Amino acid sequence: TKFVPNGNLETAIHGSGEERLGLPLDLTKRLDIIISTAQTIVYLHNLCDSPIVHCHLRPTNILLDENFEVRVSDYGTATLLWSHLQQESRASSSSSGATMGYIAPEVAVKTQVGSQADVYSFGVVLMEVMTKKWPTVSLVSESGEKISLRQWVATGINGGGLVTVVDPFLTEKMSEREGEKMLNLLKISLLCTKEIPEDRPS
């Protein structure tokens, strides 16, 4: 395993210890991390000899080297697609370690594992990278209702705009073009986290 001096993505976003400051990641750096993570997932699903579903994609498993290049770790819960098709029970047991907040609805309810489950997890990670909000903690809407990170993002970009949703570090001095990029990234995250697996991008 390569040494990763910049730790994992969760620490980079949220920091560690009491201060929880995180690293000053600009949009370019975050975009590079997002793209590299997506490329890794595409490789696992489409380019391995036996396609692999990671099943446990989350920021703690996205490691960052000295150049902030991505190394996705923790394949202990990964499930071979062909194995799932032949032995559903084995796939069910291997998916049970996924973390609520990042886990796709179909996995939580039906213990089914497919490549679209990783797409869902990637979408949640993308939201977290852009908003600096934890997906495992309920947020509060303007009406005082507890909502998920996905609901919060959807409501924000449809109503209040980027500044109500995106990490303030990114919006403080953003250009119009950067704003468009961030809006598109959040729209992608919403597509990736659609409830029905077939409605998500591949």
Going by pLDDT thresholds of 50, 70 and 90, the confidence category of residue 53 is confident
Q: How crowded is residue 146: how many other Cβ atoms within 10 Å of its Cβ?
A: 10
**pLDDT, the chain, mean:** 84
**Superfamily (CATH H level) for 9-192:** Transferase(Phosphotransferase) domain 1 (1.10.510.10)
Query: pLDDT: is 183 or 49 the higher one?
Result: 183
The domain segmentation of the chain, as residue ranges, is 9-192
Question: C-alpha dihedral over 39, 41, 46, 49, to 10 degrees?
Answer: 110
Taking only the tens place, the pLDDT of each residue in 89-98 is 334 434 444 4
pTM: predicted TM-score of the whole model, two decimal places: 0.85
At 24, the amino acid letter reads P
pLDDT in tens, 163-180: 889 999 999 989 999 999
Angle between helices 115-131 and 176-192 (to 10 degrees): 150
